[in-house]
Amino acid sequence: MAQKVQFVETVLRDANQSLIATRLPFDKFEPMLSTIDKVGYYAIECWGGATFDVCLRYLNEDPWERLRKIRAAVPNTKLQMLLRGQNVLGYSHYPDDFVKLFVQKAVENGIDIIRIFDALNDVNNLKVAMEATIKAGAIASGAISYTTSPVHTHAKYVEMVKELKEMGAATICIKDMAGIMGPQEAYDLVSAIKDAVPELPIDLHTHSTTGLAFMTYLKAVEAGVDIIDTAISPFSGGTSQPATETLAYALRQLGYEVDLDDKMTKKMADYFKTVRDGYIADGTLMPKSMATDTQCLTYQIPGGMLSNLLSQLKQMNALDRLDEALLETPKVREDMGYPPLVTPTSQMVGVQAVTNVLQGERYKKVSKEIKAYCRGEYGRTPAPINPEIQKLILGDEKPLEGRYADTLAPVVEKARAELGELAKSDEDVLSYIAFPNLAEKFLEERKAKEENAATYTIVEC
For residue range 315-325, list pLDDT tens digits in order.
889 989 988 99
Q: What percentage of the chain reaches a pLDDT higher than 70?
A: 98
For the stretch 250-297, pLDDT in tens is 999 999 999 999 999 999 999 999 999 999 999 999 888 898 988 888
pLDDT at 342: 87
For the stretch 158-182, pLDDT in tens is 999 999 999 999 999 999 999 999 9
Of the ranges 126-130, 137-141, 197-201, 397-401, which one carries the lowest mean pLDDT score? 397-401
Q: What does the alpha-carbon distance between residue 8 and residue 361 come to, in Å, rounded to a whole number? A: 45
pLDDT at 55: 97
- Those residues whose C-beta lies under 8 Å from the C-beta of residue 399, and which sit 6 or more positions away, are 374, 375, 376, 390
Q: Regarding predicted confidence, which is higher, 373 or 308?
A: 373
pLDDT at 28: 98
For 245-261, what is the HEC assignment?
Answer: HHHHHHHHHCCCECCCC
pLDDT at 46 exceeding the cut of 90: yes
Q: Cβ–Cβ contacts within 10 Å for residue 376, how many?
A: 19
pLDDT at 187: 98
Of the ranges 89-93, 221-225, 327-331, which one carries the lowest mean pLDDT score? 89-93
pLDDT at 293: 86
pLDDT at 300: 77
Q: What does the alpha-carbon distance between residue 173 and residue 52 come to, in Å, rounded to a whole number? A: 22
Where would I find the H helices in 61-140?
63-73, 96-108, 127-135
Averaged pLDDT score across all residues of the chain: 94
pLDDT at 461 exceeding the cut of 80: no
pLDDT at 307: 67
Q: What does the alpha-carbon distance between residue 305 and residue 177 come to, in Å, rounded to a whole number? A: 11
Q: Regarding predicted confidence, which is higher, 314 or 366?
A: 366
pLDDT at 458 exceeding the cut of 60: no
pLDDT at 84 exceeding the cut of 90: yes
- Confidence at 457, pLDDT banded by 50, 70, 90: low
pLDDT at 93: 93
pLDDT at 443: 96
Q: What does the alpha-carbon distance between residue 15 and residue 376 come to, in Å, rounded to a whole number? A: 32
